[in-house]
């Protein structure tokens, strides 16, 4: 018999017929398994793998799911990290998503057998959480909410120059608004705007006055803006709706973030509509929340564009469970006390140092992120590792994203759920074992 490894390469059919690989094909689809088989056959051909180890190597090389997105441990200290998918869903929300993933009664009343209002329970949960709102709808994200408002109420939108903001990745709110065909009537200057600037700009073509929370920056010094309550009072009797984009999605005032606007207070102060993201501080799925006066919400819902922006059943399920279920991870991370974070950092550092890793516990500053509370660092604690750990940690079997500061890799624990500390330690030890 030939010893040429190319003669011993297991055939594709033979490998695919192996019971373990057949089961993998049923779970992941034949093509993904075939890709892994081809890679392994190549290794055997090159002589770097024994033919008998082929099945095990294929199994080891298979992805965890048929999708390529992988779970990542967020140790950046940025609680809502847009590049890492913003808010992690709560286990309750994940369960609700799974339950709603198949065919589900999202738009059917099972009692009567008739068509029912879409996502009614999620909307009821929103209204229960924000009693100042008469009605609500949910769209794809906050940008979609802005586009819907500009399209349906548009004409001319009156907005302060200091609130023509760019959120991130080149997303500029004024450009989005203008892309709908609405005209912007800019009032005030970069640093100052007064109530009279707004009221003087009103005319027969005014569709709405828009207030945008400058989420990711602050202007200091000789500044002035008009609070929602004053603006609402100034618009009284004009019939012009006041729309406030608060961005972060806080339902109520939060003791840890005193500067961050919330939906309930903004409506109680007199805004006619409030807009927010679902996947920032609310801690839920990507969504755009629109709450406020029933007549305005109804106008948005009836606009043809709404159909193009509405959310699917899994988003509605996740949103409802986020609102009704236990506190979502983002809220727990916000509330975590620094003494507890320090204890976790010390325990982790001691465990890693015991295994010979240059690790120590340090104080750090976490952030809300996602364009929230830019000036409000959250006291936190981190495990400090050599800078050379950052890249291999990111590329590991359980990817960890930390942040590098002064040549050290910091793993900030405020953005890591306590239940993941064991995985974090294992990921660091795996890197250390490979000699980072």
Ligand X SMILES: *Cc1c(COP(=O)(O)O)cnc(C)c1O
DSSP 90-108: PHHHHHHHHHHSSS--TTE
Q: How far is the CB of 329 from ligand X (least distance, A)?
A: 18
| 273 closest CA partner among 335, 327, 336, 208 | 208
Nearer to ligand X, 43 or 82 (CB): 82
Q: How far is the CB of 372 from ligand X (least distance, A)?
A: 7
Yes or no: say if 400 and 72 are a contact pair by the CB < 8 Å rule. Answer: yes
Q: How far is the CB of 83 from ligand X (least distance, A)?
A: 12
Q: Which DSSP letter does residue 192 get?
A: B
In 10 A of CB 36, how many CB atoms?
A: 20
Nearer to ligand X, 370 or 392 (CB): 370
Q: How far is the CB of 278 from ligand X (least distance, A)?
A: 7
Could you give the strand order of the β-sheet that contains 378-386, starting from the edge strand earlier in sequence? 360-366, 378-386, 408-412, 403-405
Yes or no: say if 156 and 205 are a contact pair by the CB < 8 Å rule. Answer: yes
Please give the residue ranges that form the binding site for ligand X (CB under 6 A).
Answer: 141-143, 167, 212-213, 215, 245, 247, 277, 288, 371
Residue 253 structure tokens: 């005032």
Q: How far is the CB of 20 from ligand X (least distance, A)?
A: 42
Q: How far is the CB of 231 from ligand X (least distance, A)?
A: 16
Q: How far is the CB of 285 from ligand X (least distance, A)?
A: 11
Left (φ > 0), alpha (ψ -120 to 50) or beta: where does 239 sit? Answer: left
Q: How far is the CB of 284 from ligand X (least distance, A)?
A: 11
Nearer to ligand X, 212 or 291 (CB): 212
CA dist., res. 111 & res. 116, Å (int): 10
CA dist., res. 344 & res. 361, Å (int): 9
Nearer to ligand X, 217 or 350 (CB): 217
- Cross-strand partners of 242: 209
What residue number has its CB nearest to ligand X?
Answer: 247
Which residues lie closer than 8 Å to 105 by C-beta, 6 or more apart? 116
Nearer to ligand X, 213 or 344 (CB): 213
| 144 closest CA partner among 104, 171, 126 | 171
Which residues lie closer than 8 Å to 329 by C-beta, 6 or more apart? 87, 88, 89, 90, 283, 417
Nearer to ligand X, 90 or 215 (CB): 215
Yes or no: say if 435 and 358 are a contact pair by the CB < 8 Å rule. Answer: no
Yes or no: say if 73 and 348 are a contact pair by the CB < 8 Å rule. Answer: no
Nearer to ligand X, 22 or 84 (CB): 84
Which residues lie closer than 8 Å to 93 by C-beta, 6 or more apart? 284, 285, 317, 318, 319, 321, 322, 325, 328
Q: How far is the CB of 432 from ligand X (least distance, A)?
A: 37
Nearer to ligand X, 41 or 215 (CB): 215
Nearer to ligand X, 315 or 409 (CB): 315
Yes or no: say if 140 and 309 are a contact pair by the CB < 8 Å rule. Answer: yes
């Amino acid at each position: 018999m030939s010893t040429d490894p190319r003669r011993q390469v297991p055939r594709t059919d033979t490998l695919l017929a192996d019971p373990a690989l057949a089961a993998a094909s049923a779970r992941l689809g034949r093509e993904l398994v075939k890709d892994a088989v081809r890679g392994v056959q190549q290794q055997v051909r090159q002589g770097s793998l024994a033919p008998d180890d082929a099945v095990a190597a294929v199994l080891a090389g298979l992805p965890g799911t048929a999708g390529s997105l992988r779970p990542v441990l967020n140790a950046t200290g940025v609680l809502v990290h847009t590049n890492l998918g913003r808010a992690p869903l709560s286990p309750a929300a994940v369960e609700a998503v799974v339950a709603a993933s198949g065919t589900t009664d999202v738009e059917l009343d099972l009692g009567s057998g008739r068509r029912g209002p879409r996502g009614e329970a999620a909307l009821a949960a929103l209204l229960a959480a924000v009693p100042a709102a008469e009605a609500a709808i949910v769209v794809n994200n906050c940008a979609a909410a802005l586009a819907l408002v500009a399209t349906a109420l548009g004409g001319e939108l009156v907005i302060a120059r200091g609130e023509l903001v760019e959120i991130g990745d080149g997303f500029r709110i004024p450009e989005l608004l203008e892309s709908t065909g609405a005209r912007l009537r800019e009032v005030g200057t970069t640093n100052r705007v007064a109530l009279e600037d707004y009221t003087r700009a009103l005319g027969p073509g005014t569709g709405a006055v828009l207030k945008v929370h400058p989420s990711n920056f602050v202007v200091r010094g000789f500044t002035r803006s008009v609070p929602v309550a004053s603006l609402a009072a100034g618009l009284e009797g004009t019939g012009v709706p006041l729309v406030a984009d608060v961005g972060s999605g806080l339902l109520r005032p939060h003791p840890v973030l005193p500067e961050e606007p919330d939906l309930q207070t903004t409506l109680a102060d007199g805004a006619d509509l409030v807009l927010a993201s679902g996947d920032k501080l609310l801690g839920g799925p990507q969504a755009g929340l629109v709450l406020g006066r029933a007549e305005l919400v109804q106008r948005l819902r009836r606009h043809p564009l709404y159909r193009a922006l509405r959310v699917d059943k899994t988003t509605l399920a996740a949103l409802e469970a986020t609102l009704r279920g236990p506190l979502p991870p983002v809220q727990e991370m916000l509330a975590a006390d620094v003494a507890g974070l320090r204890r976790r950092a010390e325990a982790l550092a001691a465990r890693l140092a015991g295994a010979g890793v240059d690790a120590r516990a340090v104080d750090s500053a976490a952030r809300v992120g996602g364009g929230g509370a830019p000036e409000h660092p959250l006291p936190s604690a981190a495990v400090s590792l050599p800078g050379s750990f950052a890249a291999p940690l990111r590329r590991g079997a359980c990817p960890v994203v930390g942040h590098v500061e002064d040549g050290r890799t910091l793993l900030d624990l405020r953005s890591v759920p306590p239940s993941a500390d064991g995985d974090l330690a294992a990921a660091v030890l795996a890197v250390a074992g490979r000699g980072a």
